[in-house]
Amino acid sequence: MSEKKLRQVSCPRCRKSADWYDNPYRPFCSERCRLIDLGDWADEAYRIKGEPAEGGDGDNRREQPESDTP
C-alpha cells in the first residue's frame, strides 16, 4: 500500500484519528466536527489577542440609520 493511503491526522475538534487523503472534511474527521468549528467562528468564539481595531469597540459592522417606519 502507498504511504498516501496510510496518512492519519488528529481531528482538531474531537482529536479522533482521521484519514488525510480522500477525506472531504479534512482536517476534520467528519462533517459534524467541521460544522461545529464553523459555528464557533460564526459565534466569534475564536479571538486573536491584541488591541481593538481603530474605531472603538471592535465591532466592524456599519451602523444602520434608524427609520421612521416600524
Is residue 35 assigned to a domain?
Answer: yes
Which CATH number fits the domain that encloses residue 32?
Answer: 3.30.50.10
What domain range includes position 24? 3-42
Cα-Cα-Cα-Cα dihedral of 28, 29, 31, 33, to 10°?
A: -60
Confidence of residue 38 (pLDDT cuts 50, 70, 90): very high
Q: What is the pTM of this model?
A: 0.59
Q: Is 29 exposed, middle or buried (0-12, 13-18, 19+ CB in 10 A)?
A: buried
Cell of 29: 474527521
Q: For the chain, what percent of residues have pLDDT higher than 70?
A: 70
Q: Range with the lowest mean pLDDT among 22-31, 34-43, 47-56, 57-66? A: 57-66
Is residue 23 assigned to a domain?
Answer: yes
Q: State how many domains the chain has.
A: 1
Is residue 56 assigned to a domain?
Answer: no
Angle, CA 28 vertex, CA 23 and CA 32 arms, to 5°: 100
Is residue 19 assigned to a domain?
Answer: yes
